[in-house]
């Protein structure tokens, strides 16, 4: 892997606002819009299958109900994760990580796999997502970048697949960021863009880590972050952001 193979723009949750989040339709939308990289969220079913879903429960983004932690993979087969976003997405399934991994590899779409454990399932989710990612991207020149708000999940991921790059996600500034990144041998710090300042970005860059920022839906903000030294942003506004050539060119 070259030092940093990822582009500046990552399509957030697959297709951002243009498709139901965390679905294959979203990944295809990102490809269609010319994106070279996507971010998506992965958690475990009750029977330990890695699937894509943001929330702890199915309710907001599908016609299913209740916590994912209580569903077996077979329970998800009839769930419609597309209709809430529009009739054209009706019947879109909650995808298995294996299907999305295969799509990314075949389409040469780079991936930031966010490990998003169901409550209390941090360790096994970190282990199994990393194990799957290592398998799906085996032999590929650009590995998926793993990230998580759960430090515990990241520690488990690193133990399971130490060769995969990892980044720690933070929503509030953490004064101990450097020792935490060092302990993980992480490559990046993924921050809510609202907590970033030029000084903070500079300090993280000088310590040898990349800074990624979520969720950036404004061109002027994306440009400012880039000027500070931020290496990438996650955006929902796929169409808008790609209109700015300075952001598209890595």
Residues with a known catalytic role: 12, 54
Report the 10 Å Cβ neighbour count for 184.
Answer: 16
Residue showing the smallest CB distance to ligand G3P in the complex: 214
Partner touching 169 among Mg ion, ligand G3P, none, CB below 5 to 8 Å by kind: ligand G3P
Least distance in angstroms from the C-beta of 198 to ligand G3P: 21
74: left (phi over 0), alpha (psi -120 to 50) or beta: alpha
Partner touching 21 among Mg ion, ligand G3P, none, CB below 5 to 8 Å by kind: none
Structure tokens at 107: 């389409």
Least distance in angstroms from the C-beta of 212 to Mg ion: 11
| Positions that interact with Mg ion (CB under 5 A) | 41, 114
Least distance in angstroms from the C-beta of 139 to ligand G3P: 26
| Positions that interact with ligand G3P (CB under 6 A) | 12, 39, 41, 54, 114, 147, 169, 190, 214, 234
Residue showing the smallest CB distance to Mg ion in the complex: 114
Which is closer to ligand G3P, CB of 85 or CB of 190?
190
Which is closer to ligand G3P, CB of 59 or CB of 88?
59
Least distance in angstroms from the C-beta of 132 to ligand G3P: 18
Partner touching 147 among ligand G3P, Mg ion, none, CB below 5 to 8 Å by kind: ligand G3P
Partner touching 190 among ligand G3P, Mg ion, none, CB below 5 to 8 Å by kind: ligand G3P
Structure tokens at 204: 């993280």
Which is closer to ligand G3P, CB of 7 or CB of 75?
7
Which is closer to ligand G3P, CB of 56 or CB of 75?
56
| CA 147 – CA 167 distance, rounded (Å) | 5
């Amino acid at each position: 892997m070259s030092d940093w193979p990822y582009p500046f723009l990552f399509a957030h949750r697959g297709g951002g606002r243009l498709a139901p989040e965390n679905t294959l339709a979203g990944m295809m939308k990102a490809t269609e819009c010319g994106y070279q990289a996507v971010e998506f969220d992965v958690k475990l079913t009750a029977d330990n299958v890695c699937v894509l879903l943001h929330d702890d429960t199915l309710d907001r983004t599908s016609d299913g109900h209740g916590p994912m932690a209580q569903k077996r993979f077979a329970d998800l087969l009839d769930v419609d994760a597309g209709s809430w976003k529009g009739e054209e997405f009706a019947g879109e399934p909650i995808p298995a990580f294996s299907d999305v991994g295969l799509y990314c590899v075949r389409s040469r779409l780079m991936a930031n796999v966010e490990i998003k454990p169901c409550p209390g399932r941090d360790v096994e989710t970190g282990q199994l997502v990393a194990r799957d990612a290592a398998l799906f991207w085996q032999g590929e020149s650009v590995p998926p970048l793993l990230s998580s708000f759960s430090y515990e999940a990241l520690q488990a991921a690193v133990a399971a697949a130490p060769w995969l790059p990892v980044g720690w996600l933070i929503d509030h500034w953490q004064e101990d960021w450097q020792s935490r990144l060092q302990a993980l041998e992480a490559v990046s710090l993924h921050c809510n863009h609202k907590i970033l300042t030029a000084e903070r970005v500079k300090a993280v860059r000088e310590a040898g880590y990349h800074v990624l920022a979520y969720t950036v839906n404004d061109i002027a903000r994306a440009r400012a972050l880039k000027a500070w030294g931020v290496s990438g942003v996650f955006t929902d506004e796929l169409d808008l952001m790609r209109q700015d050539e300075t952001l598209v060119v890595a």
